[in-house]
Amino acid sequence: MITALDDQLGRIVAALEKKKLRQNTLILFASDNGGATSGLFASGSKSKEERESEVGGIEQGAKAPASNGRLRGGKGGLYEGGVRVPAFANWPGKLKPAVVNEPCTWWISCLRC
């Protein structure tokens, strides 16, 4: 999915540059949740029999669909693994490159425009 996102974002940036709009365009990206660590979020609804043969929505012995590294929890949960996600903001000539290592609940406060 990251490759697909990168390819499509590249197409958007190329179109903005072609129309000479890139310098006037703020690009924001953020995920809506952490990775799915439960099969229930990764594979949708299941029958009662399928659910009973699983532990945490994942077939017994199967690997979790995603990893959130050292963060506890994942998609659908309120622990860091579910809500702490990568994000970026890009606006040539307006925003200087920087890394923000603190929680951002509203983009404008994180951008420090």
pLDDT of residue 15: 97
Task: Render pLDDT for 38-48 as a digit per residue (tens, 0 to 9).
Answer: 666 655 555 66
CA proximity to 37, closest of 60, 67, 59 = 67
CA 79 and chain centroid, separation: 15
Q: Are 47 and 86 in contact (CB under 8 A)?
A: no
**Whole-prediction pTM value?**
0.59
Task: Render pLDDT for 47-71 as a digit per residue (tens, 0 to 9).
Answer: 666 656 655 555 555 566 777 888 8
How far apart (Å, rounded) are the C-alpha atoms in residues 69 and 37?
Answer: 11
- 97 pLDDT higher than 70: yes
